[in-house]
């Protein structure tokens, strides 16, 4: 599991790639939280277009970043979720609680 970030003004975009499962969710969570605490963005775009597998640990990762952003007064936008991510978000009903943008930052659907 790897990721990259882009920052522009008060906007931070994080691109997550690979599988989110119980083997890597804790490490990724720690790394993302450290970035959020350091950068303190006004808007956090969590781009999940490169996620190929997502289980309940991935759902927990998304939910935890939702809570983390709320404590920092940061707006969270789940951006361009892959089919695997969208499926688990729908099943859990999180699609009703999260702001989800189906296209990525350049306006293209992923």
pTM of the predicted model as reported, rounded to 2 decimal places: 0.90
Instruction: Confirm or reject CATH 3.30.750.24 for domain 2-101, answering yes or no.
Output: yes
Question: pLDDT below 70 — which residues of the chain?
Answer: 105-110
The full set of domain ranges for the chain reads 2-101
Residue 107 has a pLDDT of 46
33-42 own/partner pairs: CB under 8 Å, 24+ apart? 33/65, 33/68, 35/5, 36/12, 36/65, 36/68, 36/69, 36/72, 36/74, 37/72, 39/7, 39/12, 40/72, 40/74, 41/7, 41/10, 41/11, 41/12, 41/74, 42/9, 42/10, 42/11, 42/74, 42/75
* pLDDT on residue 1: 80
pLDDT of residue 106: 52
């Amino acid at each position: 599991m790897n990721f990259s970030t882009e920052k522009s003004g008060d906007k931070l975009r994080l691109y997550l790639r690979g599988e989110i499962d119980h083997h890597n969710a804790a490490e990724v969570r720690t790394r993302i939280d450290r970035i959020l605490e350091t950068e303190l963005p006004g808007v956090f775009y969590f781009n999940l277009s490169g996620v190929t597998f997502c289980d309940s640990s991935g759902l927990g990762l998304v939910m935890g970043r939702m809570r983390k952003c709320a404590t920092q007064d940061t707006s969270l936008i789940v951006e361009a979720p892959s089919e695997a991510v969208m499926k688990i978000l729908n099943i859990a009903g999180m699609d009703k609680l999260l702001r989800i943008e189906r296209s990525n930052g350049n306006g293209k659907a992923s």
